[in-house]
A and B are shown apart, each in its own frame.
Chain A
Amino acid sequence: DAGVIQSPRHEVTEMGQEVTLRCKPISGHDYLFWYRQTMMRGLELLIYFNNNVPIDDSGMPEDRFSAKMPNASFSTLKIQPSEPRDSAVYFCAITPAGLSSGRNEQFFGPGTRLTVL
């Protein structure tokens, strides 16, 4: 089973603070995705990486958002400065290594629920 660990599971912060969300895949993968889920907008793809390289960040809402993947086992999504409208659940997902494009299911982490006051 593909697995993804996300931390923290819950984050409450004040407007203007920096927030860092973490994702740790625990199995081999080719792609890593960051999503945001809100009631209003549903599931939105923010950015994805292929072999640790950012491929498409067109979903990142603003320059306040940035994502990195320094190695195959770790990725971060940073919001600086945070705003109340960033409140959402942020998911990290991976696709298993070795399968070709498009046909892979994505396996999601448990998500980080972010609340910006």
Chain B
Amino acid sequence: AQKVTQAQTEISVVEKEDVTLDCVYETRDTTYYLFWYKQPPSGELVFLIRRNSFDEQNEISGRYSWNFQKSTSSFNFTITASQVVDSAVYFCALSEARRAGNMLTFGGGTRLMVKP
């Protein structure tokens, strides 16, 4: 069965610090997709990134970077030089190609608080 674990329920940092949000997943499928979503205090869920299981290349987008390691079943998310606007709940999610539809399994989320 598929499962996503975000062990850090809450992280607090001071502005300009780097912070890494952990995500560990379980799946029996060889083809799967991993996602990160951001939920700011306003409540909407914002898509950040999708990663395919066959592409382990790390990705950087501005201050955001993602480290995908199949060997440890992890898909961690790093924010460099954090800002107050990064304060949000971040969700990691998994989708398996063999499952009908595009069903996502979400982790429990990590609440990030960036203090000025």
A interface with B by C-beta (< 8 Å): 30-31, 33, 42-43, 45, 48, 50, 55-56, 89, 91, 93, 95, 101-111, 113
> Which one, B47, B100, B106, B108, contacts A105 given CB within 8 A?
B47
Contact A111 B44 (CB under 8 A): yes
Report the minimal beta-carbon distance from A21 to chain B, rounded to whole angstroms: 15
Check if B99 sits within 8 Å of A102, measured CB to CB. Answer: yes
A55 touches B91 (CB 8 A): no
- Enumerate B50-65 residues with CB–CB distance to A below 8 Å: 50, 52
Q: How far is the CB of A25 from chain B (nearest CB, A)?
A: 14
B31 touches A108 (CB 8 A): no
Contact B106 A43 (CB under 8 A): yes
Q: Residue B43 contacts which of A43, A55, A93, A111 (CB distance < 8 angstroms)?
A: A111
User: Are the CB atoms of A110 and B44 closer together than 8 Å?
Assistant: yes
Contact present for A102 and B95 (CB under 8 Å):
yes
Q: Are B101 and A42 in contact (CB under 8 A)?
A: no
Main secondary structure, interface of A, reads strand
Known contacts being A55-B100, A106-B104, is A89 close to B43, with CB within 8 Å? Answer: yes
Contact size range, B:
20 to 34
A-side contacts of B108, CB under 8 Å: 42
Q: Which residues of the partner chain B approach A95 to less than 8 Å between Cβ atoms?
A: 102
Q: How far is the CA of A33 from the CA of B50 in the complex (A)?
A: 18
Do A48 and B101 contact each other (CB < 8 Å), given the known contacts A102-B96, A105-B50? yes
B97 and A45 form a contact (CB under 8 A): no
Q: A50 CA to B101 CA in the complex, in Å?
A: 7
Check if A103 sits within 8 Å of B104, measured CB to CB.
no
Q: List 6 A-B contacts (CB under 8 A).
A: A45-B104, A95-B102, A102-B99, A102-B102, A106-B47, A106-B104
Quick check: A48 and B106 within 8 Å, CB to CB? no
Contact B47 A102 (CB under 8 A): no
Identify the closest chain A residue to B36 (Cβ): A105
- Give Cα A55 to B101, complex, Å: 8
